Amino acid sequence: MYFSARDYELVRNQVELGEIIGEGQFGDVHKGTFKGRDNQLVPVAVKTCKADADLATAEKFLEEACKYLLHCSLEINIADPI
| CATH architecture, domain defined by 6-79 | 2-Layer Sandwich (3.30)
pLDDT in tens, the chain (82 residues): 555 556 666 778 888 999 999 987 888 889 999 888 888 898 888 888 888 888 888 888 878 777 766 655 444 444 444 4
Beta carbons of 27 and 48 less than 8 angstroms apart = yes
DSSP secondary structure letters along 22-74: EE-SSSEEEEEEEE-GGG-EEEEEEE---TT--HHHHHHHHHHHHHHHHHHHH
Beta carbons of 46 and 21 less than 8 angstroms apart = no
Distance CA 33, CA 13 (A): 10
Query: The whole model's pTM is what?
Result: 0.63
Spell out the domain ranges in the chain: 6-79
